[in-house]
Structure 1
Amino acid sequence: MLVLWGLLLFLPILGLYLWFYHGWGCFFREDAIQPTQPLVTDKRARDKVLRQGFSQDKVPASLDALVIGSGVGGLSVAALLAKAGKKVLVLEQHEQAGGSCHTFQQHGYEFDVGIHYVGQMHENGMMRIIMDQLTDGQLQWNRLADDYDFVMVGPRQYLISAGKRGFPERLKKQFPGEEEAIDKFVAMMKKVARHVALLGALKILPQWLSLFLLRTRILHMFSPIFWFSESSHQDVLNKLTSNKDLQTVFSYVFYGVPPNDSSFMINSLLLHHYKRGAWYPRGGSSEIPFHMINVIERAGGKVLVKAPVTRILLSNGRATGVAVKKSGQEICVSAPIIISDAGIFNTYERLLPPEIKQKPEVASILSRLQYGMGCFLVFVGLRGTSDELGLKSINYWMFQGADLNSLMDQCSLSTLDEFCENLPLMFITSPSAKDPTYNLRHPGRSCMTLLTMAPYHWFSEWKEHQPRHRGDDYYNMKMKLAQKMLERALKENPQLEDKVEYMEAATPLSNEYYLRAPKGSMYSAEQNCSRYQSDIIVKMRTQTAVPGLYLTGQDVFSSGLAGAVHGGLLCACAVLNRILYLDLIIMKKRLKRQRMKKRD
């Protein structure tokens, strides 16, 4: 028996040794990173990639997998499967691929809709390695200034700085007497970042085994991550400090959930994500899908738009394809593997028969989840370059006061008129100031994006109407809030007062229509404490109650670009029956050794 156990331990170690030193069997490879090609700015050339309309004759023969939705979660898993030699079809209901990474142009201006800045893109960082592999190294990043976020709490102002030392040291200078609380918070943030991989591992292990390890509390003895994930952010902060402004700074990246109902793990991961700095994709956020699609197509796959999937086809209880609505008819497309990037609610409530949702294992998950809150976006076109207008790459997070729980309650409980009067919280960013190619692509122009939270019910009476056909009352309502937000932004940037040439606003209905986000939710399932209970974390995995059907994207792991990418990675692990994270760790080690050799 001892010999058997020794053999079982030896074989994985031998495999890792061969992987590490010889690259044997490693899924990711250095030679996938190709020399960077010039930025493609020609609209027709970009449209050939991002706007390939669906028709039956464009569907590749002998598909290996089909992905519903072209958000980052869908494109990530498709690109990973393509790297494994799989032929993948991605179907997108919108007229442009990319989900929240797509951009749109109006009156000579270009606006992003979801990617405002990204962290952990430093050299040899894990997220950078992943994104390089998914785009063959073609996606380039522009690092923002060290002071990347500006937090305004009433009349008081605080800067957030990048750097392992810079982040806490800047906070200590701004909060004298709170050094101990800041050190403790940073230490806890590091622990979360180190231990969160265990939650990913539990999504890869067989579900019965993961649940057994949780119920017996074996893992709780080795890791604090379960306490971090299940603890209210507000409860943890109350034990660290009574300084309300500092609590606000520890919670400032708002996503629709008040601190008293949000997971400490998620809030600390958000801050840790940017601790090494913030980056923005050169060429705009649509560069992300643009280069992922090229990887998918080189393996024989396709990404087709204007392809709304109406239902997932089942045969003997197994997913075998999808039905696509085209010219009033349904076109059926078959594939042995179906992957949904449409979100957990859309997948179970819209695309599958009702009896699937009623299965105990599905009902138990859905009963614990809520729709996330929607957001309200204002897109502002400005005459003049960012340099001429004095626009900076820094983001402004503005709070009327230091009680974030009360401010979030105002978002959900106020009428729109009351909200306009108070404007409890708002975010201001300038994509044109973050992207050095913006002025080359749009000479003499720049832009700002303004964001706040907004409940769906403010605009729900117009949900059955198409965009541009919702009438004057809807337009006047949204533009009233947009004007209030613009006035607030101009108060911080008075030099822009006479430079505004264009303004448009997007409500939760816009998210629902263009992104198929249920109730206009910004991050799909609500990112509250209920979602991050350990048993729900294990059950919200890529495998579904339907054989042959998988989930990818934000609902598999967590929100945002990084969360969606990890959702794609976890999905690829399940489909390929391979732990790709081991390959990434090995790749990271090899790159580190190569860099050290170059220095020597």
Structure 2
Amino acid sequence: MWLVVVLVWLLVMAAGTYWYLFGKPSPFSMESVRPPGSLELDQKKRDTVLKQGFSLDKVPENLDAIVIGSGIGGLTAAAVLAKAGKKVLVLEQHDQAGGCCHTYIEKGFEFDVGLHYIGQMHENSLLRIAMDQITEGQMQFVKLEQHFDTITIGSGEERREYTIYSGKTEMEAHLKKQFPNDTKAIEEFFKFMKLSARKTHYLATLKLIPQWLALFLLKSGIAHLASSIFRHSGYSALELANSLTSNKDLHIIFSYFFYGVPPRDSSSVINALLLHHYKRGAYYPRGGGSEIPFHIIPVIQKSGGNVLVRAHVSRVLVDKDGAACGVAVRKGQEEVEVKAPVVISNCGIFNTLRKFLPPEIHTKPEVQDRLNMMKHGKGSFLVFSEKMLKMKDPGFGCKSCMTILAMVNYEWFEEWKDMTVRKRGDDYMEYKMRFANKLFDWACLHFPKLRDKLVFQDVATPLTNVHYLGAQRGAMYSSEHNLDRFHAEAIARNRCSTPVKNLYISGQDVFSCGIAGALHGGLLCASTVLDHIVYIDLLLLKMKLKRKKAKEMAKQSKKQK
């Protein structure tokens, strides 16, 4: 009798698991991807997509979800929900959609705000497949030269330069040529990179399975038996580097993608993933970073949703049961309420739980516990410079853009935080230009010809990022990516759902920073809202595409014979 009960229970569990993983229709399909069209260069036509201002008549009826913030994390979550048949409204406080993917034009020059280049956009990579799905194949990426980065250490006679190459085998081989005495250390680091890349989905799974189960697997040691990634994620980048070599220059290269956290306080796994991200090449979107929101927005609109800008969300509406049920949008001196059964915030955990929720909610212990898991990230300081390069023909020239990014403390600029943007006075202008000039002088030490070519310069401080991006304390990479955040147990607890029912988090605060990190935050959020792991759909689609590619290559081989 007991055997029958156990067998029936196992059968029910197996059937339930199968239904959860595969029983719901996939939001993705090969058929939804179209050949990319020509670039839209008419700015007025682009503005009708990227700069559609908020008004009540543009808000769709019977919304399924509202997304606060139109960064890549918010747009990804919205697009996946839209492809699943949901009607989604995305609200952006700036006058242009895109977050760090938006571009702006100043005095005839166009600048990318946050996207410099992106990795893992090679054919049939998981990230490329996801990008193709949320843009329906309209994004085109240009692969950068194999030598895509240079690291300069020291100055004067002590200056050393190291070049970073992309390539499945070339990245490692090229580093070995530059560090012939540390080939073993480089081999071990690249093994660790491969482990991190192949097993990161285990860490993501901690956010998708029930929290009690994730914590049970970790605390019981079962998870650690399955993979060492759970231990390594809480291992600092400096500890890893020290275990491999005493060469300080190589230490820097192993963790040179700086996001405001020194190697002693950053996760070895995250640092390894950032370098691995470019192993198969660095890519730039043809047409600039704003092409990404430009092509995601129509996907959201296709299911009856919309993306509206100049929509200042002042608070999340909470019903009598303490569940999120919409948002209030500030319109002049008034507030307009927009209702939906699901609210997704792409504005960071501090804005979401501290700024948007009423005091009686955000002071609750469970909300405070969630906030205490995170720390504020470093502020970002950017110098945008345009150079005019003259050609042999005196009638022609070409423009070149340079962005200098440095991490700074928000407190250095805090005294001007309550002043209106572009009206903060001469003291503020002189103060920020001292930073900008120092950074530009430093750049000219490495590229002396820059100084004579400079025709325009613009500067963004943490206060600029607060105003235009809604970035908490001007942190473009959102909350600090410190070591505590990437211990396996913290990863399991820091998920898309929040202590407030029907309120979810998307973007960089879900897993990691950058365009790719925020996009994955959107995929994780959509999986949570839909109660369906969309990564499985992406992996199945990847297998189909690989089979299709293999058949095409086989046909081509037969023709050549």
Shift of 1:216: 1.2
Partner of 2:452: helix, strand, or coil? coil
Partner of 2:173: helix, strand, or coil? helix
Correspondence for 2:559? none
Correspondence for 2:137? 137
Aligned match of 2:521 in 567, 576, 581? 567
Q: What is the 5 A alignment of 1:501-512?
A: 501-512=455-466
Aligned match of 2:333 in 328, 332, 346? 328
The range that moved more, 364-373 or 269-278, is 364-373
Q: Against the structure 1 CA distance between its residues 350 and 532, is the aligned structure 2 distance closer, same or farther, given a 3 Å change threshold?
A: same
Q: What is the 5 A alignment of 1:432-511?
A: 444-511=398-465
Correspondence for 1:383? 388
Shift of 1:538: 1.1
Q: Against the structure 1 CA distance between its residues 51 and 247, is the aligned structure 2 distance closer, same or farther, given a 3 Å change threshold?
A: same
Which residue identity does 1:546 align to in structure 2? V
Correspondence for 1:173? 177
Partner of 1:497: helix, strand, or coil? helix
Q: Is it true that 1:293 corresponds to 2:247 in the alignment?
A: no
Shift of 1:12: 8.2
Q: What is the 5 A alignment of 1:92-171?
A: 92-154=92-154, 155-171=159-175
Partners of 2:418 and 2:169 in 1: CA distance: 52
Correspondence for 1:439? none
Partners of 2:217 and 2:287 in 1: CA distance: 46
Q: Against the structure 1 CA distance between its residues 18 and 323, is the aligned structure 2 distance closer, same or farther, given a 3 Å change threshold?
A: closer
Which residue identity does 2:195 align to in structure 1? K
The range that moved more, 587-596 or 5-14, is 5-14
Residue by residue over 1:136-174, the C-alpha shift from the partner in whole angstroms, topping out at 9 and shown as x without a partner, is 000110100111110011100101111121111111100
Residue by residue over 1:268-313, the C-alpha shift from the partner in whole angstroms, topping out at 9 and shown as x without a partner, is 1101111111001100000011100011111111100000100001
Partners of 2:138 and 2:474 in 1: CA distance: 32
Partners of 2:235 and 2:398 in 1: CA distance: 49
Which residue identity does 2:35 align to in structure 1? P
Partner of 2:441: helix, strand, or coil? helix
Shift of 1:66: 0.6
Partners of 1:175 and 1:595 in 2: CA distance: 38
Partner of 1:537: helix, strand, or coil? helix
Correspondence for 1:347? 352
Partner of 1:383: helix, strand, or coil? strand
Shift of 1:354: 2.2
Partners of 2:459 and 2:61 in 1: CA distance: 42
Correspondence for 2:77? 77
Partner of 1:531: helix, strand, or coil? helix
Correspondence for 2:40? 40
Q: Against the structure 1 CA distance between its residues 185 and 337, is the aligned structure 2 distance closer, same or farther, given a 3 Å change threshold?
A: same
Partners of 1:69 and 1:488 in 2: CA distance: 35
Q: Is it true that 1:272 corresponds to 2:276 in the alignment?
A: yes
Partners of 1:256 and 1:563 in 2: CA distance: 16
Q: Against the structure 1 CA distance between its residues 360 and 493, is the aligned structure 2 distance closer, same or farther, given a 3 Å change threshold?
A: same
Which residue identity does 1:369 align to in structure 2? M
Q: CA RMSD in A?
A: 2.0
Correspondence for 1:62? 62
Partners of 1:16 and 1:347 in 2: CA distance: 29
Partner of 1:451: helix, strand, or coil? strand
Aligned match of 1:226 in 230, 238, 243? 230
Which residue identity does 1:570 align to in structure 2? L
Which residue identity does 2:107 align to in structure 1? H
Correspondence for 1:28? 28
Q: Against the structure 1 CA distance between its residues 504 and 593, is the aligned structure 2 distance closer, same or farther, given a 3 Å change threshold?
A: same
Which residue identity does 1:80 align to in structure 2? V
Shift of 1:493: 2.3
Partners of 1:49 and 1:229 in 2: CA distance: 40
Correspondence for 1:410? none
**Unaligned segments of structure 2, at least 5 residues:** 555-561
Partners of 2:25 and 2:340 in 1: CA distance: 27
Which residue identity does 1:371 align to in structure 2? H
Partners of 2:211 and 2:22 in 1: CA distance: 30
Shift of 1:195: 1.1
**What TM-score, normalized to structure 2?**
0.93
Correspondence for 1:209? 213
Indicate if the aligned counterparts of 1:76 and 1:569 stay in contact, CA closer than 8 A.
yes
Partners of 1:65 and 1:29 in 2: CA distance: 22
Indicate if the aligned counterparts of 2:74 and 2:345 stay in contact, CA closer than 8 A.
yes
The range that moved more, 129-138 or 4-13, is 4-13
Partners of 1:9 and 1:73 in 2: CA distance: 33
Aligned match of 1:553 in 490, 498, 507? 507
Partners of 1:487 and 1:61 in 2: CA distance: 54
Indicate if the aligned counterparts of 1:356 and 1:545 stay in contact, CA closer than 8 A.
no
Residue by residue over 1:296-352, the C-alpha shift from the partner in whole angstroms, topping out at 9 and shown as x without a partner, is 111111100000100001112111111000111100000111111111000111000
Indicate if the aligned counterparts of 1:375 and 1:520 stay in contact, CA closer than 8 A.
yes
Indicate if the aligned counterparts of 1:339 and 1:549 stay in contact, CA closer than 8 A.
yes
Q: Against the structure 1 CA distance between its residues 363 and 575, is the aligned structure 2 distance closer, same or farther, given a 3 Å change threshold?
A: same
Partners of 2:13 and 2:367 in 1: CA distance: 36
Q: Against the structure 1 CA distance between its residues 533 and 17, is the aligned structure 2 distance closer, same or farther, given a 3 Å change threshold?
A: closer
Aligned match of 1:249 in 249, 253, 256? 253
Q: Against the structure 1 CA distance between its residues 343 and 15, is the aligned structure 2 distance closer, same or farther, given a 3 Å change threshold?
A: closer
Aligned match of 2:323 in 303, 318, 323? 318
Partners of 1:259 and 1:201 in 2: CA distance: 26
Q: Against the structure 1 CA distance between its residues 12 and 589, is the aligned structure 2 distance closer, same or farther, given a 3 Å change threshold?
A: farther
Partner of 1:450: helix, strand, or coil? strand
Partners of 1:315 and 1:388 in 2: CA distance: 68
Which residue identity does 1:362 align to in structure 2? V
Partners of 2:18 and 2:267 in 1: CA distance: 39
Residue by residue over 1:168-212, the C-alpha shift from the partner in whole angstroms, topping out at 9 and shown as x without a partner, is 111110001101100111001111111110111111111111111
Correspondence for 2:265? 261
Shift of 1:488: 2.1
Q: Against the structure 1 CA distance between its residues 349 and 144, is the aligned structure 2 distance closer, same or farther, given a 3 Å change threshold?
A: same
Partners of 1:150 and 1:264 in 2: CA distance: 21
Shift of 1:495: 2.8
Shift of 1:384: 2.9
Q: What is the 5 A alignment of 1:537-552?
A: 537-552=491-506
Q: Against the structure 1 CA distance between its residues 576 and 17, is the aligned structure 2 distance closer, same or farther, given a 3 Å change threshold?
A: closer
Partner of 1:90: helix, strand, or coil? strand
Partner of 1:160: helix, strand, or coil? strand
The range that moved more, 501-510 or 486-495, is 486-495
Shift of 1:563: 1.1
Shift of 1:18: 9.1
Which residue identity does 1:141 align to in structure 2? F
Q: Is it true that 1:589 corresponds to 2:543 in the alignment?
A: yes
Residue by residue over 1:28-67, the C-alpha shift from the partner in whole angstroms, topping out at 9 and shown as x without a partner, is 1111111211101111001000000001111111111111
Partners of 1:527 and 1:232 in 2: CA distance: 12
Correspondence for 1:423? none
Shift of 1:9: 8.0
Same amino acid, percent of matched pairs: 51
